[in-house]
C-alpha cells in the first residue's frame, strides 16, 4: 500500500522553490507514476484555446486534444468536479488512449477561479481508485497549484 502522507510530503519537497508549470507538472507526473500501484498513465491536460491539450505525462502516447465536455477529462473540465470512473467502458464518451485502461480518475485544476486543466490517472485495474485515492489526489493537486504561485 502506498503511504499517501509520505507521498504528499515527497510531492511538496519535489516542487519546493520552483513555480514553472511544465517543470512541476513533469516531475509530479513522474513521481506519481512511479510511486502509485497499478497505474498506466499519469499526466496533465491544460486548457488552451477552449480545449484541453496534453501536457507532461508518463505512460503511452495520448490523444493531444480533448474538447470540453468530451470523455472523462472533458467532463471534469466542464463540471469542475472530480470524475472517478470505476469502469471506463461503462462511461459514455470515454476516450481510449491506452487500450489497457480500465478505470480512471480526473481532478480538475482550478486556480484563481479559473480552470487551468486537469490531472488524469488511468489504471489497468477495474475500480482501482477509491475515496482515499481521490482525497490524496485532490491534496496533491493543491500542492501543485500552490507551487505555481
Least Cβ distance, residue 133 to ligand SME (angstroms): 16
Instruction: Say how many residues touch ligand SME, by CB under 6 A.
Output: 15
For ligand SME, the binding residue among 15, 36, 42, 73 (CB under 6 A) is 73
For ligand SME, the binding residue among 29, 102, 119, 120 (CB under 6 A) is 120
Q: What is the H or E stretch that residue 89 is in? A: none
- Does residue 77 interact with ligand SME by CB under 6 A? no
Residue 146 gets which letter from DSSP?
Answer: H
Least Cβ distance, residue 15 to ligand SME (angstroms): 22
SS3 121: strand
Quote the CA–CA distance of 43 and 66 in Å, as a whole number.
14
SS3 40: coil
Quote the CA–CA distance of 65 and 120 in Å, as a whole number.
14
Residues belonging to the chain: 149
What is the binding site for ligand SME (CB under 6 A)?
41, 62-63, 66, 71-74, 94-95, 97, 101, 104, 120, 122
Amino acid at each position: 500500500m502506498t503511504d499517501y502522507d509520505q507521498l504528499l510530503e515527497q510531492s511538496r519537497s519535489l516542487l519546493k522553490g520552483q513555480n514553472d508549470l511544465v517543470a512541476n507538472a513533469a516531475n509530479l507526473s513522474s513521481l506519481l507514476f512511479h510511486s502509485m500501484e497499478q497505474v498506466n498513465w499519469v499526466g496533465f491536460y491544460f486548457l488552451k484555446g477552449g480545449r484541453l491539450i496534453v501536457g507532461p505525462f508518463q505512460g503511452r502516447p495520448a490523444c493531444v486534444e480533448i474538447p470540453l465536455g468530451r470523455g472523462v477529462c472533458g467532463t471534469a473540465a466542464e463540471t469542475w468536479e472530480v470524475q472517478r470512473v470505476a469502469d471506463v467502458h461503462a462511461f459514455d464518451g470515454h476516450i481510449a488512449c491506452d487500450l489497457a485502461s480500465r478505470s480512471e480518475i480526473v481532478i480538475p485544476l482550478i486556480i484563481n477561479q479559473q480552470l487551468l486543466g486537469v490531472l488524469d490517472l488511468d489504471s489497468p485495474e477495474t475500480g482501482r481508485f477509491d475515496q482515499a485515492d481521490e482525497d490524496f489526489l485532490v491534496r496533491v493537486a493543491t500542492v501543485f497549484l500552490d507551487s505555481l504561485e
